[in-house]
Amino acid sequence: MNKNEINFKTVLSHWDSALFSEKLIDVLMGLKTGVLPLQHGLTQGDMAAEQPSKITLLNCHETEKEFVVKMAVFFTEIISGCSCGDDPETLNGYCEILLTIDKQTAAGVFQVTD
């Protein structure tokens, strides 16, 4: 399992319930630093904050083999070396991430979308 792959077995037990969104967001917000590919969602800065500030699910659907979740991720972008006093400048960042969860293994893979 690579660093951008995680097992979502416990979350999938809530797929058809109203709790799914809440449970998934709780898991996503608690992931270790670097699991969400925030660095790939940069538009202005050269670094992403370690954790997102907010995650909103945009849509969820399933195919024959996978559960697919598209989410909006809000985070802080950091522009290093551009401010007086060596303080980096921070900007609000946003990207959309597609989470694909395999139905058999419950392994999830993240991909930043355009």
Note the pLDDT of residue 24: 96
What gap in Å lies between CA 30 and CA 20, rounded to an integer? 15
pLDDT at position 83: 55
- Tell me, what's the pLDDT at 2? 42
Instruction: Give me the pLDDT at residue 54, please.
Output: 95
**Residues of the chain under the 50 pLDDT cut:** 1-3
Measured at the CA of 41, the angle between CA 38 and CA 113, to 5 degrees, comes to 110
pTM: 0.84
Check residue 64 and give its pLDDT: 97
Per-residue pLDDT, 60: 96
